[in-house]
């Protein structure tokens, strides 16, 4: 492809997509493709990582390298891929169940590492693929085939958790607001360090409560008065419910990434695959074992 001519369609896989007509994952994928085209990232430099779920099928439909792993385990995989080859752009796409439920512990732990990856969570507030059970972000009272008299759990607040855990880039977008969403995604990918983009998407088949219309009516854009470097203000914004703010809540630049902190990159910046074992060092290490 011509280096100056990146097109969103270059990132699309020519295959049937197993998403329902009108599904928010389509829009989320389109926004991502547009952002990648504008950032001019070649397909061969991109690794799409996911777990399992409807959202997690995005790497299947998007052109780049793919690691479509286990339900809940996208973040550990993404962190390791970036750690082993910092030259790759690593983007995680998975659902709210996969990312915050099954993968909850990984969410906390990977934020703490500040691996230079972008985590896009397609938050439809429901388990889509398994047909409509509550997810960690489902709102109280929602009835499902399992939560038969309504959800009673307090909804998980990914943004507040991420800010509290020291995430270096925290954002929420509504896929229906494509203009803002694309800009946020671009910044998230460009951010050096871990970036969370909680992405509100409608599930047309399984979530009759949080529809496209509902998201549209219950979100508003953060404006310039919000200082993205003010952690306390970001935290306060993240606690807002009823009407949910969208945009970048918080970011901090310059924190060392996992790779930058790793001794493996102290004297050598090349990806691990290209390195060779130093037999002289091995010999020396063995000889050092003459002593206990």
Partner 1 sequence: MEKKVSDISIVIAGAAGQGVQTVEELLVGILKMSGYNIYATKEYESRVRGGSNSTEIRVSSNRVSTFVNRIDILIPLNSAAFSHVESRLSEHSMIITDPSLLEGIQNLKEEQIISFPFSKIAKDVGSKIYANVVAVGAIAGIFKTDPKIAKNVLTNRFSSKGSKIIDNNYTAFLKGYELGKQVVENGKYAINLSTNNNIADEILLNGNQAVGLGAIAGGCNFISAYPMSPSTGALQFIAANSEEFGIIIDQAEDEIAAINKNIAAWYTGARALASTSGGGFALMTEGVSLAGIMENPIVIHIAQRPGPATGLPTRTAQEDLNLALYAGHGEFARIIFAPGTIEQAFYLTQKAFNLADKYQIPVFILTDQNFVDGYYNIPKFDLSKIKVEKAFIKTEKDYLRYKFTKDGLSPRGIPGYGDGLVRADSDEHTEAGQITEDMEYIRPEMVKKRYYKRLKLLEDVADKPEIVGAADFSTLVVCWGSNYTVVKEAIEEFGSKEIAMLHFHQLFPLHPNTKEILNKAKKVIIIENNASGQFANVLKLYCDLSIPEKHKYLNYTGKLFAVEDVLDILQKEAN
Q: Which residues bind ligand TPP (CB under 6 A)?
A: 52-55, 71, 94-98, 122, 124, 126-130, 135
Q: Residue 190 CA to chain centroid, in angstroms?
A: 13
> Please, which of residues 58-97 interact with Mg ion by CB under 5 A?
95-96
Q: Which of ligand TPP, partner 1, Mg ion, none lies near 45, with the C-beta cut-off 5 to 8 A by kind?
A: partner 1
Chain residues binding partner 1 by CB under 8 A are 13, 15, 18, 43-45, 47, 49, 52, 57, 59-60, 63-70, 73, 76-81, 83-85, 87-88, 105-106, 108-109, 113, 262-268, 271-279, 281-283, 285-287, 289-292
**Cα 185 to Cα 178: distance, rounded to the nearest angstrom:** 10
Comparing CB distances to Mg ion, the nearer of 83 and 200 is 200
Q: What does the alpha-carbon distance between residue 111 and residue 44 come to, in Å, rounded to a whole number?
A: 26
Residue 88 interaction partner, one of partner 1, ligand TPP, Mg ion, none, beta carbon < 5-8 Å per kind: partner 1
For residue 124, the minimal CB distance to partner 1 (Å) is 20
Residues in the interface with Mg ion (CB under 5 A) total 4
Interface of this chain with Mg ion, residues 117 to 136, rule: CB under 5 A: 124, 128
Backbone angles phi, psi at 222, to 5 degrees: -65, 140
**Which CA distances in Å does 204 have to 58, 84, 143, 196, 242?**
17, 38, 16, 24, 21
Taking CB under 5 A as the rule, does residue 198 contact Mg ion? no
Q: Nearest-CB residue to Mg ion?
A: 95
Q: What DSSP string runs through 208-243?
A: SSS-HHHHHHTEEE--TTS-TT-HHHHHHHHT--SS
Report the Cα–Cα distance between both ends of the chain, in Å, rounded: 58
Can you say how many angstroms the Cα of residue 41 is from the centroid of all Cα atoms in its chain?
Answer: 17
199 touches Mg ion by CB under 5 A: no
Closest to 82 in 3D by CA, of 255, 254, 265, 277: 265
CB of 172 to Mg ion, least distance (A): 15
- Closest approach, Cβ 50 to ligand TPP, in A, equals 10
Are the C-beta atoms of residues 118 and 46 closer than 8 Å to each other?
no
Nearest distance in Å: CB 59, partner 1: 8
Which CB atom, from 149 or from 274, has the smaller least distance to partner 1? 274
- Compute the least distance from the CB of residue 73 to ligand TPP, in Å: 9
Q: Closer to ligand TPP by CB, 68 or 89: give it.
A: 68
48 contacts 81 by C-beta, under 8 angstroms: no
3-state secondary structure of 209: coil
Q: Considering the complex, what minimum distance in angstroms separates the CB of residue 128 from Mg ion?
A: 5
> 10 Å Cβ neighbour count for 135?
29
Give CA–CA dist 114/191, Å, rounded: 11
Q: Which residues of the shown chain bind Mg ion in the complex (CB under 5 A)? A: 95-96, 124, 128
């Amino acid at each position: 492809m011509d280096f100056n001519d990146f097109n969103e369609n270059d990132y699309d896989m020519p295959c049937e997509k197993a998403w329902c007509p009108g599904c928010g994952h389509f829009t989320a994928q389109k926004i991502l493709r547009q952002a990648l085209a504008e950032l001019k990232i070649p397909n061969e430099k991109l690794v799409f990582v996911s777990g399992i779920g409807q959202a997690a099928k995005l790497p299947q439909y998007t052109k780049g390298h793919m690691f479509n792993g286990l339900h809940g385990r996208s973040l550990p995989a993404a962190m390791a891929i970036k750690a082993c080859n910092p030259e790759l752009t690593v983007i995680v796409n998975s659902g709210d169940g996969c990312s915050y439920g099954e993968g909850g512990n990984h969410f906390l732990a990977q934020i703490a590492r500040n691996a230079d990856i972008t985590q896009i969570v397609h938050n439809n507030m429901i388990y889509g693929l398994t047909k409509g059970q509550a997810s960690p972000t489902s709102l109280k009272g929602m009835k499902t085939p399992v939560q038969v008299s309504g959800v009673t759990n307090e909804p998980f607040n990914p943004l507040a958790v991420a800010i509290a855990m020291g995430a270096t880039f925290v954002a929420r977008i509504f896929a229906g607001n494509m203009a803002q969403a694309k800009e946020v995604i671009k910044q998230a990918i460009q951010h050096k360090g871990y970036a969370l983009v909680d992405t509100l998407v409608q599930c047309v088949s399984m979530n009759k409560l949080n529809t496209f219309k509902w998201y549209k009516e219950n979100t508003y854009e953060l404006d310039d008065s919000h200082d993205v470097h003010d952690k306390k203000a970001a935290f306060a914004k993240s606690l807002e419910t009823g009407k949910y703010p969208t945009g970048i809540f918080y970011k901090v630049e310059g924190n060392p990434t996992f790779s930058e902190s790793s001794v493996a990159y102290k004297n050598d910046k090349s990806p691990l695959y290209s390195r060779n074992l130093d037999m002289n060092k091995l010999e020396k290490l063995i000889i050092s074992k003459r002593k206990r």
